């Protein structure tokens, strides 16, 4: 996904990557950042500026680009834990056929908004958080950090119960959207689900972190990978908790920050 740029993230309409028409092709110049797993990909879709002298949103187009084209350079971004998930992609006079344009010229903003609605609402936070709650419940009933079980702590039990209640409420909202009960404004409900789900997920991450006590301190690299079988500190089933806590800090940023989603909800749903 080639949306964000070094100077255009939350304010995506200020993007600067340009595409000009030269015969039967577009010539692309600029860069994209925070492109997940671009170093493992062979294609990217990009929002590019094709008309500079109009309202920012009106001069953007949606173009497909093969990453093996001359002039494309993918630079992995190594995070603090040594893992690579994000990349920066540079485009230097990259020639792309006109046929790679999706939709009409300068229609890219509408296409991007449509895709973002599906990105925000197409993820089942209810199911993902449920898996975390089950993991926490199992650990809390068996694991004793500093000599006591978390389930013997009434504060911990209350926090976990409140999170589970909120998760069930989120399930009801997700089911209403799937059933079409929200009508034509389903797009704004995707923003609502993203805000509630991402923030609830972070709450549950904190609960899990408190459960492990000092055993949550080390970040166990690779523990989020499928089939991880490294030596861990603390219970084996809790090896990914610290990594997940850190990784999920971005969940209220990617796909549109929680603050931007609240603005969308205020304007489109509450009519403020």
Residues serving a catalytic function are 119
Render 68-127 in DSSP notation, one character per residue. Answer: TSTTEEEEEEE-TTS-EEEEEEEEEEEEEEGGGEESSTT-HHHHHHHHHHHHHHSS-HHH
**C-alpha distances out from residue 219 to 30, 78, 222, 246, Å:** 35, 15, 9, 9
Q: How far from chain centre, in Å, is Cα 30?
A: 23
Residue 147 is encoded by which pair of tokens? 């000599």
Which helix H or strand E contains 163, and what residues bound it?
A: helix 154-178
3-state secondary structure of 7: coil
For the chain, what is the largest distance between any 2 Cα atoms, rounded to a whole number of angstroms? 73
């Amino acid at each position: 996904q080639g949306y964000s740029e070094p100077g255009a993230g939350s304010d995506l309409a200020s993007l600067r990557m340009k595409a000009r028409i030269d015969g039967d092709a577009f010539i692309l110049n600029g860069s994209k950042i925070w492109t997940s797993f671009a170093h493992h990909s062979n294609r990217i879709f990009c929002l590019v500026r094709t008309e500079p002298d109009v309202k920012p949103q009106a001069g953007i187009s949606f173009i497909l680009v093969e990453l093996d084209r001359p002039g494309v350079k993918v630079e992995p971004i190594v995070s603090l834990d040594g893992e690579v998930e994000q990349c920066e992609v540079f485009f230097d006079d990259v020639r792309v056929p006109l046929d790679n344009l999706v939709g009409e010229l300068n229609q890219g903003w509408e296409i991007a908004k449509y895709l973002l609605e599906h990105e925000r609402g197409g993820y089942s936070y209810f199911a993902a958080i449920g898996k975390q709650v089950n993991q926490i419940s199992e650990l809390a009933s068996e694991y004793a950090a500093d000599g006591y079980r978390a389930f013997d702590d009434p504060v911990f039990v209350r926090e976990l119960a409140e999170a589970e209640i909120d998760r069930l409420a989120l399930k009801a909202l997700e089911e209403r959207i799937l059933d079409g009960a929200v009508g034509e404004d389903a797009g704004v409900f995707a923003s609502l689900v993203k805000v509630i789900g991402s923030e609830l997920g972070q709450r549950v991450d904190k609960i899990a972190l408190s459960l492990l006590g000092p055993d949550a301190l080390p970040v166990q690299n690779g523990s989020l990978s499928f089939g991880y079988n490294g030596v861990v500190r603390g219970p084996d089933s809790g090896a990914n908790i610290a990594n997940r806590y850190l990784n999920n800090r971005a969940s209220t940023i990617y796909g549109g920050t929680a603050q931007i989603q609240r603005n969308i909800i205020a304007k489109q749903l509450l009519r403020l």
